[in-house]
A and B are shown apart, each in its own frame.
Chain A
């Protein structure tokens, strides 16, 4: 058994080497296929990151009336933070709001003077709420509306909820995000199918050149596994080498375009590549090895049938 395995492995390596041109051609074609898959992965990452960046800029602001009781504000803040849809709640107190107003209007004498005329702080506290997904803002706003509706009319707490003002842009963004996610999935699937077919045909051609050999091996009394083994190993080697080659090609390309992506999409693809190298390596090389193994197994099996 071990002897058989050793012989299969040796025959696989020797076959790879002695058919160097065919092997090289297969590796290159598979590299192109894996490269396409890699590009899709990176583009998908770019889109996801930039969409996240845009998403994080969206929020709902709740403006409280200036004399709302701090206890009530606190209660509402805790209740909102406890909602499953909510990712973060940022609180700005009355004093901070005033400070911000002053800073914002540093060069606006009239605004500052107007503030001086009033003896008390006219600004209320606010909370900014970020949902986990843009689609969840609707529910958070609903919750806030309910809270407002339940308020005691003589002692109101919530002044304005700005969701309705932002509603249109939030809806549009939600639609764009889901469209982009769906279409990048479709593109990925199409490319995966293309890569599979290209690889399968390449390896089938490589093994087609060996069909006479397969017939001879059968006549000499070699078992099917003994014949198939070296070809399966060669398929794995094609995939592995193509995967490594693909990553080796990506590296200089990412050094080149990394800074550009950092400026435009707020993610440096080179850093992403290096930080997630293990995952990317396993994905690309894994897909290569799996494609190579499956294709070669199917191709040899064809010639093993009597």
Chain B
């Protein structure tokens, strides 16, 4: 479903960690965790998938589509196939939880009726029905991240990209977020997640890719956090 073919990325100004000859494949319905120290290149790798950044050499494919050959005008429709979750949540501050989730559907051109049906469902899945009309600044970190997850899944994407989704959360919120991600994966959505958190990896018990200095150094089918 996602295929990295010998991808390297070098930043001349050193503003982010690069990648060195990355080749791997993610199959449909997989739950892949990418672990590694800060600066190992985890976030750069995810940016390649959502076409936020271009490789210096090599190609990244989504099914048969070369992601970095997508014309700029078609990028929005490509990005709608991918749900993204970030460490800093990236919610729209002037929109309520409900509106944040609805925005993703509006941007996707869904009908008002679909929005009225699906947004409450997505919020129910992350157990936030009662906070639907709160603004982000009125929510806790865990709640914000759950809104972000609801937004990521509401368009029923083929794949969820989560960059350190638990990085800013306390242990209980972390546990909740991981449970939700597992539930989403069980429902058939591919999940690619980066994390620092050993507990999270050990709990998920799925494929783990370990990175160091821009390279993949381990790729275990049912991994433990080893560094």
Contact = CB atoms under 8 A, between A and B. Distances in A.
Secondary structure at chain A's binding surface: helix, strand, loop or mixed? helix
A19 B94 CA distance: 8
A221 B109 contact: no
B90 interface: yes
26 contacts: A3-B109, A4-B109, A213-B92, A213-B94, A215-B90, A216-B90, A217-B92, A219-B50, A219-B84, A219-B90, A220-B79, A220-B80, A220-B84, A220-B104, A220-B107, A221-B76, A221-B77, A221-B78, A221-B104, A221-B107, A221-B108, A222-B76, A223-B77, A224-B76, A226-B106, A306-B72
Given A3-B109, A4-B109, A223 B94 contact: no
B41 to A, nearest CB: 20
Nearest to A8: B106
Contacts of B77: 221, 223
Interface in B9-49: none
Contacts of A217: 92, 103, 107
Nearest to A7: B106
A14 B33 CA distance: 39
Contacts, number: 55
Nearest to A227: B107
Interface string B153-197: 001000000000000000000000000000000000000000000
B84 A15 contact: no
A56 B155 CA distance: 75
Interface size range of chain B in the complex? 20 to 34
Interface of B: 50, 52, 72, 76-80, 82, 84, 90-94, 103-104, 106-109, 111-112, 151, 155
B136 to A, nearest CB: 11
A75 interface: no
Contact of A223 (B50, B92, B103, B107): B107
Contacts of A221: 76-80, 82, 104, 107-108, 155
A57 interface: no
B93 A219 contact: no
A18 interface: yes
A3 B80 CA distance: 18
A222 B50 contact: no
Contacts of B72: 306
B111 A3 contact: yes
A114 B156 CA distance: 112
A222 B80 CA distance: 8
Contacts of B80: 220-221
Given A3-B111, A306-B72, A222 B94 contact: no
